[in-house]
Amino acid sequence: MTQQNPNVTVAQRIANILRRHGVEFIFGQSLPSAVILAAEAIGIRQIAYRQENMGGAMADGYARVSGKVGVVAAQNGPAATLLVPPLAEALKASVPIVALVQDVERDQTDRNAFQDLDQIALFQSCTKWVRRVTVPERIDDYVDAAFTAAASGRAGPAALLLPADLLRAEAKSPAVVRSKQLGHWPLDRVRPSDDALAEVASLIAAAHAPIIIAGGGVHCGGATHELAALQQEACLPVFTTNMGKGAVDEYHPLSAGVLGSLVGPRSLGRYSYGLVEDADLVILIGTRTNQNGTDTWRQIPSSARVVHIDVDPVEIGRNYEAIRLVGDARESLAALRAALTRVDLTRRHGDRARLEECIAQYWKGFELDRHDVVTSRSRPIRPERVMAELQDLLTGDVTVVADASYSSMWVLGQLRARASGMRFITPRGLAGLGWGVPLAIGAKVARPGKPVIAVVGDGGFAHSWAELETMVRMKLPVTIVVLNNGILGFQRDAETVKFGTYTTACHFAEVDHAKLAEACGCPAVRVEDPGELAFHLHRGMDQGPLLIEVMTDPAAHPPLSLFAKMDEAA
């Protein structure tokens, strides 16, 4: 129940409303002070970040893993502007975050007050919803509206602007008492019509070569069990997108790995791509069919029928005309499975052995092709060897996080999900550098008892060094693997392919990342011998925090289609 005490301030009422929504953590840095003080007073824990970019990304990692809405708080003006990047990532990646942002006092608006800025305009492009509260009695309405906007439909960020004087004002009792708990997501579960599902069930039964491409929406909707059951019952081969990785167990004989731009030499995609080319029915689930996820929209044959299950009707038909199944992934898949019990799946079962054999050959070809690099003893160390050592320690309980650039690609292309529902968290919404460490810290807040490992490049890590102190202070033991190749790897290689040369930004001066970590109280080691990797990775997962700086080969790059011609010529 909302507190009815007439003597509470708006800030105190906000804290009580947050508690009603089940909020346990606020990623903040003291501001808005009245709100944070009130929240801490009732047991909501502040995870105090060092910089707002990072606090927003922590709230993002927390929301992705916990199934709850992430809450981040910040000061007005410059602090608010630093929330734009993480909210933009959350918007593109469909992650619910409520940002509580202070605003100048109501009677000082538009007078060049200290740190005044048009924050409605600031957040309009990077949130689903932004409002400024001006009437104390309406605070319950507005907080609830922010949570509803974040957690409903296609989830995303919402910003609530809170004038500093409003927070100190007395919170008069609202006309209507609110009691709903809106802090989890997805808030609603909608499903397609029975007619549409029956049509798709018939198409699946009759198709010659149907496939599923599962996106991040399967994780958002908590639909991994339903997808695993569908894969099994209807004998459907499943690819995932980058963001969908872990939606299925990649050791299942009908799992064909991640589809996207990893199709060059020494990739799985190079083989598995054939299955997509041959498909006559493609079932997309929870994907925005983005450029990276489709290798620049090349991968789905124009001759194939496309079915698209998505909670966001606007995504259906954006890049591929499709049979529209608008709905939450879990509800829609459950309903599709029910519809499939009413059709004859003999054709699907009859094709299973062939498909399994085919997919086994893809994985075998991939293993053979990459054998030299995954077993390489060379120094500097091959990143594929780092991933192979990590793979040996993975269980379905480990959350693997990556930064943008090559670390994402090594994680998504070289690791193999051990269970359906295993999480691989990557900033693929906008692919921004610097998200790896804060996403991992947020994931650790959500799952304190389970190992979280972040793989980051040295360029991306430089955006987030300061949060090592946060990790230590807040006792959030993450294992951070820094792939130190001394360069902005993707930048150098992409420029080389496109221009034949690269700019002077690409090489760094030498940085001792282990010393940096130790200076913040985080144990650290620099690894130059690949034979030592397993020991330290194990140690990190067992008793982190630990920063493992791996001296990696600057000549190594993931098998992206962009480099395929160059790699084939080599």
Q: Which residues bind ligand TPP (CB under 6 A)?
A: 404-407, 431-434, 457-460, 483, 485, 487-491
Are 378 and 429 in contact by the 8 Å Cβ rule? The answer is no
SS in 3 state form for 330-356?
HHHHHHHHHHHCCCCCHHHHHHHHHHH
What span, in angstroms and rounded, lies between the C-alpha atoms of 270 and 407?
20
- What secondary structure letter does DSSP report for 509? P
Q: How far is the CB of 563 from ligand TPP (least distance, A)?
A: 12
DSSP string, 67-126: SB-EEEEE-STHHHHHTHHHHHHHHHHT--EEEEEEE--GGGTTTT-TT---HHHHHHTT
Q: Which of 32, 489, 540, 558 binds Mg ion (CB under 5 A)?
A: 489
Which partner, Mg ion, ligand TPP, none, binds residue 404 by CB below 5 to 8 Å per kind? ligand TPP
How many residues would you count in the chain? 570
Q: How far is the CB of 476 from ligand TPP (least distance, A)?
A: 22
Which partner, Mg ion, ligand TPP, none, binds residue 460 by CB below 5 to 8 Å per kind? ligand TPP
Bridge partners, 527 (sequence order): 550
What span, in angstroms and rounded, lies between the C-alpha atoms of 468 and 192?
45
Question: Closer to Mg ion at the Cβ: 140 or 458?
Answer: 458
Q: Which of 485, 502, 517, 530 binds Mg ion (CB under 5 A)?
A: 485
Neighbouring residues of 118: CB distance < 8 A, sequence distance ≥ 6: none
Considering only residues 450 through 479, tell me which ones interact with Mg ion, judged by CB under 5 A. 457-459
What span, in angstroms and rounded, lies between the C-alpha atoms of 386 and 532?
10
Which partner, ligand TPP, Mg ion, none, binds residue 227 by CB below 5 to 8 Å per kind? none
Question: Closer to ligand TPP at the Cβ: 197 or 488?
Answer: 488
Question: Closer to Mg ion at the Cβ: 265 or 554?
Answer: 554
Which partner, Mg ion, ligand TPP, none, binds residue 29 by CB below 5 to 8 Å per kind? none
Which partner, ligand TPP, Mg ion, none, binds residue 88 by CB below 5 to 8 Å per kind? none
Q: How far is the CB of 167 from ligand TPP (least distance, A)?
A: 32
Q: How far is the CB of 461 from ligand TPP (least distance, A)?
A: 7
Question: Closer to ligand TPP at the Cβ: 348 or 557?
Answer: 557
Question: Closer to Mg ion at the Cβ: 393 or 511?
Answer: 511
Which partner, ligand TPP, Mg ion, none, binds residue 123 by CB below 5 to 8 Å per kind? none
What span, in angstroms and rounded, lies between the C-alpha atoms of 182 and 4?
19
553 binds Mg ion (CB under 5 A): no
What span, in angstroms and rounded, lies between the C-alpha atoms of 243 and 329?
14
- Nearest residue by C-beta to ligand TPP? 457
Q: What phi and psi values does residue 341 have, to the nearest 5 degrees?
A: -70, -15
Question: Closer to ligand TPP at the Cβ: 30 or 81?
Answer: 81
Q: How far is the CB of 488 from Mg ion (least distance, A)?
A: 6
Question: Closer to Mg ion at the Cβ: 287 or 485?
Answer: 485
DSSP string, 12-26: HHHHHHHHHTT--EE
